[in-house]
Chain A
C-alpha cells in the first residue's frame, strides 16, 4: 500500500541552493505541476470554507430523501440516510487533506531527522538506527493499523498515527543515503574539522542539503496516505460514521448500493482519484524541479 521510493535511495542529492523567484520559475517550467498545485490549493480552500460552500448539513439525515439520484437540490444525489452527497464530499475533503498532510509531513520530518542523524553519527549509532528501521520496514502495515485502532479506537487521529508510522522508516532510509553523500562533502568536513557542534553541523550543513529528497518523499506520500485511508476505511479501520470521509463513503457504496445508486460510488471515487492524481503530478514536478539531473528538455 505504501510505496517506498527506492529509486532515490541510490542517488546522492545534488546540493541545491535556494533560488529567488522559485515560484515563478516553477510555474513556468512545470505547468502540469503548477496546475495540480492550483487544484490542491482550491481543495484546501473548499475544505477550510466547508460550512460556507456546502449546500446542506453533511450529517443531516432524512428518511424522506433516501437514495435520491442527482437533482438541482442535491447535485450529487443523497445517500442511504438521505444525506447530501455533495456536502459530505466537501466536508470529507477536510478528513482527506488532514490525513494526507499530517501523515506525510510528520512522517517525512521524523524520517529526515532520523536519517540525517544516523548518517552524521555513523558507526554504532547508524548501525542501531538502521536495524530499528529495518524492523519497522519488515513489519506488516495492516497489523500496525489494527493495533492502533484497537488501542485508540477509530477516528481521524488514529488513522493518522497508523499511516505515519510506516512512512518514517521509508523516508529515513532514503534520506540517510543522501546524507551519507553530503557528509563527505568538503564543507561539512571542514566544519567538522573546525570543531562545530553536532547540532550545528546537522542543522546548518546537512539538513538543508537533504531537503530535496525529503520534499520529494513528502509529496509522494501525500497521495498515498489518502488512498491508504480509503483502504483502512474499507476494512473498518478508518474513520467512523457519521463523520464524512471519502473512504467510508466508498465502502458503503461499493458493497451495498453499487447497482442501485451508482452516484454514491462515483462521487467519492472521483474525489479520491483526482486528489491522488493532483498530488502525484505535483510530486513529479517538485522532483523534476529539485533534481536538475532529471529535468526534461
Chain B
C-alpha cells in the first residue's frame, strides 16, 4: 500500500513536467504578442522601438531555453513570478479566484450528488417503468441544453419574474453567507444539473449491473431487508464508477466553467484562464495550467484511494 502511494506520487512528476513543457511550447508557437496587444490593441500610436523595449523588459527577448529553465526552476520552488499583463504576483491573483471556483465546484458536486444518486437508484429499481422513463428524460435534457443558454434564460427569468438579479461581485462565504449564496447558487444549479445528468445515468447503469450480481441474490436469499441489500450491498458497489466520473469532473469544474463564469459574471479561474491566454500572458497561463493539471492529478489519486476503500477486491500491487 505505501509503496503504491509512493509510486503514484513519483509518477505525477513526469506528468506535470510534460504538461509544463507542452504549455510552454504551445504558448510560444501560438501567434500573438502581449506587448502588441497592450499598446496597439486600442489603436494607439506606439512605435516599434517601444514594443521592442517592452518585450525586453518582460524577458521575451531571452533565448527560449533560458526562459524555460527560469520558469521551471521557479515553479519547482513554487515561485511563479508576476503576471506579464498586470505585473502583480501570480499567486495572489490566482488565490483570489481560486476561492470562488473551489466553492462553486463543491456546490455543484453536492447538488449533483444529491440529485443523481437517489434518482439513479430509483431509476434502476424501477427500470422499464414510467418513473424510469421520466428520470431518464430529465437527465438527458440536462445533457442536451447548452449551459450558457440555460444560464442566460435563468437570469432572464429571475429578472422578469422577481425583478431581481444576482450580485455581480463575490462575497466570501465567511463574510456573508446569504450574499455569497445568492450569487453562487444559480450557477451551481445550472452546473449541478448538467453534472447530475451524467451521474444519474452512470448510477442507473451501474446499479442495474450490480443488481444482477450473485452476491445480491445471495444477500436477498439470506432474508436481508431489501433496504439493507440496496444500500449496503448494491449501492456501495455501484458507486465505484460514479465516483470516477465525479472525480474527473471535479477537476474539470475548477477550471472549465468558462462559459458559465462569463454568463453569471463570476470572477473565477476559468475567466482568468481565458483572459490570460487571450492576452498571451505567458507566465499566468503557465501557472494556471500547472495548477489545473495538479488538481487533476491529485483528484485522480484520491479517486483511486476511494476505490480501494469501497472495493476490498482491489489490491495494490
Chain A interface (Cβ within 8 Å of chain B)?
1, 3-4, 6-7, 9-10, 131-132, 134-135, 137-143, 146-147, 150-151, 223-224, 227, 230-231, 234-235, 247, 250, 254-255, 258-259, 265, 269, 272-274, 276-277, 280-281, 284, 287, 293-294, 296-297
Q: In the bound complex, do residue B147 and residue A231 qualify as a contact, i.e. CB atoms below 8 Å apart?
A: yes
B83 interface residue, CB < 8 Å from A?
no
Chain A residues, CB < 8 A from B29? 147, 151
Q: Is B231 an interface residue (CB 8 A)?
A: no
| Given known A138-B251, A142-B273, A234-B259, contact A254–B208 (CB-CB < 8 A) | no
Whether B285 contacts A231 by the Cβ 8 Å rule is no
B216 to chain A, nearest CB (A): 14
Using A7-B205, A131-B11, A227-B144 as known contacts, say yes or no to A254 and B149 having CB atoms under 8 A apart.
yes
* B127: nearest chain-A partner, CB-CB: A296
Interface of B: prevailing SS = helix
Binding site for A on B (CB under 8 A): 11, 14-15, 18-19, 22-23, 26-27, 29-32, 127-128, 140-141, 143-149, 152-153, 156, 198, 201-202, 205-206, 208-209, 212, 240-242, 244-245, 248-249, 251-252, 255-256, 258-259, 262, 270, 273-274, 277-278, 285, 288-289, 292-293, 296-297
A131-B18, A272-B146 known; A142-B258 Cβ under 8 A = yes
Q: A131-B11, A142-B255 are in contact. List 9 more A-B contacts (CB 8 A).
A: A10-B240, A138-B15, A142-B258, A147-B27, A223-B144, A227-B144, A230-B149, A296-B127, A296-B128
B289-A143 in contact (CB<8A): yes
**Is B156 a contact partner of A259 (Cβ separation < 8 A)?**
yes
Neighbouring B residues of A277 by C-beta, 8 Å: 140-141, 143-144
**CB neighbours of B262 from chain A (8 A):** 235
Chain A residues with CB under 8 Å of B240's CB are 10
A/B interface sample: 28 pairs, CB < 8 A: A4-B249, A7-B205, A7-B241, A10-B241, A131-B11, A134-B15, A135-B19, A135-B293, A140-B292, A141-B256, A142-B270, A143-B26, A143-B285, A146-B278, A150-B32, A151-B31, A227-B143, A230-B146, A230-B149, A231-B259, A234-B259, A235-B262, A254-B152, A272-B146, A273-B141, A276-B143, A281-B140, A287-B205
